[in-house]
Amino acid sequence: MLVVRILALVVACSLLAIMLAAAWAQQASADDEIYDQVRRRLANDPDVKGAAIEVEVHQGVVTLRGRVREEKHRLKAERITRKVKGVKKVINELRVGLPAE
């Protein structure tokens, strides 16, 4: 009887681990898709395309870092990012001004 309980516990733990791994992989895939879409849309926008913008995505939260030339470009980059499907929140850490040389 004890062996059966231990076996059932091992099977349950294994199934849980498989389900968690699948959920993590799905989230990672969604974050990768968001990253690609944000990068593509920023690159295609004439106002922000030349800016040095880093994009980081974690569980649908997008962080923008780097520099843009004007405040309106900083705000536009955030608006573009918010429109991407799957984005839950945008953390805009973009700075205004020319990059330090």
Q: Give the residue from 61, 66, 63 showing the smallest Cα distance to 97.
A: 66
Nearest-10 crossing angle of helices 71-82, 2-44: 140
How many structural domains is the chain composed of? 1
Cα–Cα distance, 50 to 40 (Å, whole number): 13
Query: Does residue 54 lie within any of the structural domains?
Result: yes
Query: Does residue 1 lie within any of the structural domains?
Result: no
Length of the chain: 101
Residue 57 has pLDDT above 60, yes or no: yes
Residue for token pair 């990768």: 32
Query: Does residue 13 lie within any of the structural domains?
Result: no
Instruction: Supply the CATH number for residue 81's domain.
Output: 3.30.1340.30
Position 12 confidence tier, pLDDT thresholds 50, 70, 90: confident
Query: Does residue 52 lie within any of the structural domains?
Result: yes
* Percent of the chain whose predicted confidence (pLDDT) is above 70: 85
Query: Does residue 6 lie within any of the structural domains?
Result: no
Query: Does residue 7 lie within any of the structural domains?
Result: no
Domain residues for the domain of 78 are: 27-96
Average pLDDT of the segment spanning 44-66: 90
The pTM is what? Answer: 0.71
Tally of CB atoms within 10 A around 40: 11
Segment 62-71, tens digit of pLDDT: 999 999 989 9
Query: Does residue 2 lie within any of the structural domains?
Result: no
Query: Does residue 11 lie within any of the structural domains?
Result: no
Tally of CB atoms within 10 A around 80: 19
